[in-house]
Amino acid sequence: MTLAMTVTVTDLSDADLQRRVQHKLDQKTKPLGSLGQIESLALRLACILGTDAPQLQQPQMLVCAADHGLAARGVSAFPSDVTWQMVENFLAGGAAVSVLARQHGIDLTVLDCGVARDLAPRPGLLDCKVAYGSADALAGPAMSAEQCQQALLNGRRVVRGLPGNVLLLGEMGIGNTSCAALLLARLCRLDIADCTGAGTGLDAAGVERKIAILRQVLERHAWAQTPLDALAAFGGFEIATLVGAVLQAAAERRVILVDGFITTAAVLVAAQCEPHVLQRCVFAHRSGERGHALMLSALQATPLLDLGLRLGEGSGAALAWPLLRSAEVILNQMASFEAAGVSQSEPAPV
């Protein structure tokens, strides 16, 4: 099967805007470049939003949840029931991402993309269920072409209905580090052993078993060479929904704040479909999960934080969010040398 996605993501390159923003930053009351990555971040936000006075509005956190048939093979230290239990925790406000979103005024929406259980309707939960979990990728494709396409469309539809101009990416799904590792290995032509980590906490023997299973999955689906075919082969529904969400957010010129290993895998797929997606992305952190550094390197992405995080959920994105706010106010509110009446540095004598 060969899947396609008809989303156009345009090139944001604007040399004149970049020059204006860089000049504005250089005229602030500070030594040139002394705010480091915060200045680079301010420039990126301006370029994404197409203005030298960017305003970040109504940030939206999407936590996409689904189960995985491959989890039955023992690729996770936790049982699949944890997926629906954590969804309940998100909605009750007790998870890390819930408390961080509340702290920072981020609207949190949980998407049931394929949880293996019926969830009671309530505010903050959207029913995007394609099936009750993906299939076992060792026995066949994790998703059919039709299921993958539906998940992609679900992600696009949800983003179209969200306010604001910032999308934060989160996920939940026992077994989904296996999906991310498979996507990284296939799409970046890397050995699966280099892409595979402990996930939810496997010991060394468990990681070796996981690698052996994932190697078999890659061999079974040698046919899946395009980004979307690989996505369908390896799963899962939450990652496919995130791919659709990323493509839609990019087309709408929203700032996309990427969390960890799983959400970066979704961006990897989206960027291989539409390379200009990466112009809209800010990468929150370098995960402690093995493989994430390789994925960031493949995307030529510089993360904002490196705190050894590997929880997922969107927690790293929520932690990085205040840095985006800081970059915004530095660009828009910090005084220039002229306005503050502060002398600039003198050029060094020749």
Catalytic positions, please?
313
For strands 281-283 and 125-127, give the pairing: unpaired
The dihedral over CA atoms of 277, 279, 281, 287, expressed in degrees to the nearest 10, equals 100
C-alpha radius of gyration, the chain, whole number: 21
Location of structure tokens 């059919």? 144
CA distance 221 to 57: 42
CA distance 101 to 82: 21
Preceding amide of 236 cis, omega within 30: yes
236 in Cβ contact with 175 (< 8 Å) = yes
- With CA atoms as reference, report the closest residue to 268 among 299, 291, 293: 299
Strand partners, 111: 64, 126
Strand partners, 108: 61
135 in Cβ contact with 69 (< 8 Å) = yes
Distance of CA 101 to the CA centre of its chain: 16
Per-residue DSSP letter, 157 = H
Report in angstroms the alpha-carbon separations of 248 from 3, 29, 107, 157: 17, 38, 18, 8
CA distance 113 to 203: 29
Strand 107-114: give its sheet, edge to edge. Answer: 125-127, 107-114, 60-66, 166-172, 255-258, 281-283
Phi, psi values for residue 35, rounded to 5°: -95, 10
B/e letters for 39-72, b = 16+ CB within 10 Å, e = fewer, are bebbbbbbbbbeebebebeebbbbbbbbbbbbbb
- Here the tokens at position 270 are 């989206």
